[in-house]
Structure formats: C-alpha cells, structure tokens
Amino acid sequence: MMVSPELVEQLQQLSPAEKLRVVQILVNDLAVGDTDQIFTNRSYEIWSPFDSADAALKLQQMLDEDK
C-alpha cells in the first residue's frame, strides 16, 4: 500500500511538534503490532563504515571540489 500524496502533503504542513507526535504514534503501533513478520526468517544487510576507505576518499574529493 502506498501513502497517498494528499497524506504526504498534510504531514509536511504539520509543525515539528505535530510531526513528532505522528512518529510516536507510528512507532508505538509498530511496537505493539505483529513485528514477528518483520524479523522472522529474514536476513538484513547492515552497513558498516569499516573498509569503506574508497567512500571516504570520494566524499573528501566532493567536499574539496565544492570549496
């Protein structure tokens, strides 16, 4: 199910405090919901900064070019 553009627009118009409340509501729903379906029998790739010297070099080059 996709989020409707109208809902996204309404959410973007909320104040920061209202946005935080929406996030709290959604997180609470996830916490009490059926999270077993999310984590059971699945593997999830986790990114690590280790061995990412190439990415650091590329980022530094981009920062240098931006100056």
Are 3 and 12 a contacting pair, CB within 8 Å? no
> Which of 6-15, 29-38, 51-60 reaches the highest mean pLDDT?
6-15
Q: Which residues contact 22 (CB under 8 A, 6 or more apart)?
A: 11, 14
Q: What is the structure's pLDDT at 7?
A: 93
Band of pLDDT at residue 8, cut at 50, 70 and 90: very high
Q: Is the pTM of this model over 0.85?
A: no
On the question of pLDDT at 1 being above 70, the answer is no
Extents of the domains making up the chain: 1-39
Q: How crowded is residue 19: how many other Cβ atoms within 10 Å of its Cβ?
A: 13
Residue predicted with more confidence, 45 or 41: 45
